[in-house]
Amino acid sequence: MTLNTASRLGVALLALALNVCAEPTAIYMDPQQPLEQRVADLLGRLTLEEKIAQLHGDSKFTTAAIPRLGIPRRWLSDGPHGVREDIGPDTWNASGHTDDFATAMPAGICLAATWNPELGHAEGQVIGQEARARGKDIMLGPGVNILRTPLCGRNFEYLGEDPLLSGRMATGYVRGAQAADIASCVKHFAANNQEYQRGTINVEMDERTLREIYLPAFKMVVQEGRVWSVMGAYNQLRGEHCCHNDYLLNHILKGEWGFQGLVMSDWAGVHDTRQAVRNGLDLEMGTDGPYDDFYLARPYREGLQHGDYPLAGLDEKVRRNLRVMLATHVLDANRKPGSLNTAAHQKTAEQVAAEGLVLLKNRDQLLPLDPQKIVSLAVIGENAVRLQAHGGESSEIKAFYEVAPLSGILQRVGSSVNVTFSEGYRKGGDTNLVERALAAARQADVVVFIGGLNHDKGFDCEGADRPNLELPYGQNELIQKLVAANPRTVVVLEGTMVTMDTWLDQVPAVVQAWYPGMEGGNALAAVLFGDVNPSGKLPCTFPRRLLDSPAHALGAYPGTNGTVTYTEGLLVGYRWFDTQHVEPLFPFGYGLSYTQFKYSNLKLVPGTNAEQPLLSAEFDLTNTGQRPGAEVVELYVHQRHPSLARPEQELKGFQKVGLNPGETRRVSVPLDRTAFAFYDDRQHHWRAEADEFEIRVGGSSRDLPLKQRYQLPVTQTFP
Ligand code: GLC
């Protein structure tokens, strides 16, 4: 159909629409009608102008209303950790509203460290409910980009180095969020693994690496999480910008995976109208107006009017936008109202934080501290009082409140223990901070040092990568002096991984706290004083030194001449450390508890029919300690003689199991054919080949006490 015919038809339809929209029972307005019929009915009522207006922003975070049809503005909002303060409408400045607070949930890396998909769901629920209460329709999270380099400024937002862990946590999150009648937006599709030159860098990688490492989390969120929107990444992949990348968006996302939602750009991530029209982009969001200058605005409209683009392509883009709108009940009176900062939200925030904290070291059981046996406690370090939620750029949250570590400790024991605070270090340094801290340390029974990183640019912050893995502000030297002044020193680190080799041997106890959100101080106090038994495990390898990490060992970061080539291929994170036999500081999947667990009696049980898993790994898990606790059991698969090179082992199953002291539970981890498969880029499909495998079970990638061989009898291939 040419545009002329369409415009005549449009005039006729407009007359009809003006007459029909007065009918409250128009199909698109009737929630009882099938979704696709509502979509088709509404699509048929739109003029060309109205269709185009649905494909791009009309402010920083909105798209245009269509008042005559009762279509409201669509409101988008960051971010992955909660509903960002209102921004704009036409600048990146905060709007200055007083009703745009939100619950600041723990950062993505902390959520991943819980290894508990149920908490992923719970975190998503909080964010979805608060989005509705704040009047938002599409929430721009979760971020699932794989942690390829420890230096990436946005690692704190993402879910670690393993595709299965990232995918499982994000799938739960999206299901929880979308249950509140909003759309989640999984991001950034794909291979946005560094902030350095993020808007232009071209990523080159082989097909197996793309399929086995960088796509699986997205695929799981699309196919199992049923996410309603996907955000293209800023970078290029194989020479084409991801926001309009034909292979990623048309071929894989919409073609192979059957994605029915909408693809939006990252802000100002669009660079070409023709590519945006043809390569699968459905919504262009951006920074500066005039918004009609956007690639999918006037240039697209003019192209259509000149007959450069088919109307069918326009309708497909609009259809996807309308589908997301109607599927999230934007037009329906019974749309869920949501809720804000409820006691349940606060409880979830604390629970995610408490389960995300990772106990890295606890020599001589210094932890948990017993308030009855401590007279004085010195809390030292600027991060003890630093509020972290309102930082990091787009994932920032204007929190209703934030319990900093010192506050949490004071609330927990302040009445029974003499707690002192000394800043110890400060950005830019200061005179006698160290001396005052050391004096406090000498006089106390126990020292709790709370340091690490923050959201300043160059640490854990969007828009830049870290220059190194070092603790800033002289913290290493301060920690050495503190533990020399008082051997009973606990080190708590906020932020993402750092090197610890200058003091780790001397320090008896270390806790990784990440960015634990607005209840973080209470969660930390609960762990330090034993109200909560820590159960977090590392979602990423902590290297002894940066050069031990694959991208750095191979000089494959940050790229040269605008291109970064992932020469490490499949060997990301523990896949590298385990295959190359490099000793990490702390391995992927590692975390201590205040109790101990024993693994025994592994049995591999083949399925007997199509309804059962291909194979189940069954084993006994016993809590052999004196405290209730939860253990993340991890299952890794090794293939003996693969026809293509494979990593030494890969995570293919995990579960979090709570046990009372002395309790034994028979645990079963199901495996299907995907647990044995690699992507065969020779045949462009997945291949689980007949071969001998080893199933390994334990509490971390480097602690797998149960091993058993398994012969996969027949090669299977699948798309
Ligand atoms: C940013 C981020 C993206 C965010 C968007 C809107 O540049 O890359 O994650 O959702 O713009 O703030």
397 Rama sector, left if φ>0, alpha if ψ -120 to 50, beta otherwise: beta
Q: What is the model's pLDDT at position 690? A: 98
Taking residues 678-694, report their average pLDDT: 97
Same domain, 132 and 174: yes
Write the DSSP string, 619-640: EEEEE-SSS-EEEEEEEEEEES
**How far apart (Å, rounded) are the C-alpha atoms in residues 645 and 138?**
41
343-378 tens-digit pLDDT? 999 999 999 999 999 999 999 999 999 999 999 999
Provide the token pair at 579.
């295959």
Same domain, 24 and 169: yes
Q: What is the model's pLDDT at position 18? A: 45
Among residues 411, 392, 399, 370, the alpha carbon closest in space to that of 521 is found at: 411
608-620 tens-digit pLDDT? 998 999 999 999 9
Domain boundaries, position 573: 541-591
Write the DSSP string, 72-138: PPEEEE--TTS-PPPB-SSSSSB---SS--B--PPPHHHHHHTT-HHHHHHHHHHHHHHHHHTT-SE
Percentage of the chain lying above the pLDDT 70 cut: 97
Q: Is-catalytic flag, 266?
A: yes
Taking residues 451-455, report their average pLDDT: 98
Nearest protein Cα to ligand 1, atom 11 = 267
295-341 tens-digit pLDDT? 999 999 999 999 999 999 999 999 999 999 999 999 999 999 999 99
Q: What is the model's pLDDT at position 288? A: 77
Which of 337-351, 427-441, 680-694, 695-709 has the weakest average pLDDT? 427-441
**How far apart (Å, rounded) are the C-alpha atoms in residues 536 and 532?**
11
Distance 512 CA to ligand 1 centre (A): 27
User: pTM of the entire structure?
Assistant: 0.96
Residue 349 lies in a domain: no
Which residue of the set 137, 162, 266, 282 is catalytic? 266
Q: What is the model's pLDDT at position 23? A: 52
Distance 394 CA to ligand 1 centre (A): 6
Taking residues 410-435, report their average pLDDT: 93
Q: What is the model's pLDDT at position 1? A: 40
Residue 351 lies in a domain: no
**How far apart (Å, rounded) are the C-alpha atoms in residues 336 and 502?**
53
Same domain, 522 and 631: no
Q: What is the model's pLDDT at position 674? A: 97
Residue 6: pLDDT band (50, 70, 90) is very low
Q: What is the model's pLDDT at position 429? A: 75
Q: Residue 106: is its pLDDT beyond 70? A: yes
To test the pocket of ligand 1, the residue of 83, 186, 241, 266 to mutate (highest count of ligand atoms within 8 Å of its CB) is 266
Q: Mean pLDDT score of the chain, rounded to an integer?
A: 96
Q: CB count, 10 Å around CB of 700? A: 19
Same domain, 469 and 577: no
Residue 414: pLDDT band (50, 70, 90) is confident
Number of structural domains in the chain:
4
Same domain, 636 and 664: yes
Same domain, 437 and 582: no
Same domain, 203 and 268: yes
Distance 522 CA to ligand 1 centre (A): 30
**How far apart (Å, rounded) are the C-alpha atoms in residues 261 and 320?**
5
Residues near 448 by beta carbon (within 8 Å), at least 6 away in sequence:
377, 378, 379, 380, 384, 409, 489, 490, 492, 528
370-375 contact pairs (CB < 8 A, 24+): 370/529, 370/530, 371/412, 371/413, 371/416, 371/417, 371/529, 372/416, 374/413, 374/417, 374/445, 374/446, 375/417, 375/418, 375/445
Q: What is the model's pLDDT at position 694? A: 98
Same domain, 173 and 257: yes
Taking residues 406-411, report their average pLDDT: 98
Residue 579 lies in a domain: yes
Residue 431: pLDDT band (50, 70, 90) is confident
Residue 352 lies in a domain: no
Could you tell me if the CB of 394 is within 6 A of ligand 1?
yes
Taking residues 435-464, report their average pLDDT: 98
Residue 339 lies in a domain: no
Distance 137 CA to ligand 1 centre (A): 16
Q: Residue 506: is its pLDDT beyond 70? A: yes
Could you tell me if the CB of 267 is within 6 A of ligand 1?
yes
Ligand 1 atom nearest residue 143's Cα: 9
Nearest protein Cα to ligand 1, atom 12 = 394
**How far apart (Å, rounded) are the C-alpha atoms in residues 235 and 269?**
8
Residues near 267 by beta carbon (within 8 Å), at least 6 away in sequence:
60, 285, 286, 287
Could you tell me if the CB of 140 is within 6 A of ligand 1?
yes
Residue 24: pLDDT band (50, 70, 90) is low
Q: Are 575 and 582 in contact (CB under 8 A)?
A: no
Same domain, 113 and 223: yes
Taking residues 72-101, report their average pLDDT: 96
Same domain, 523 and 552: no
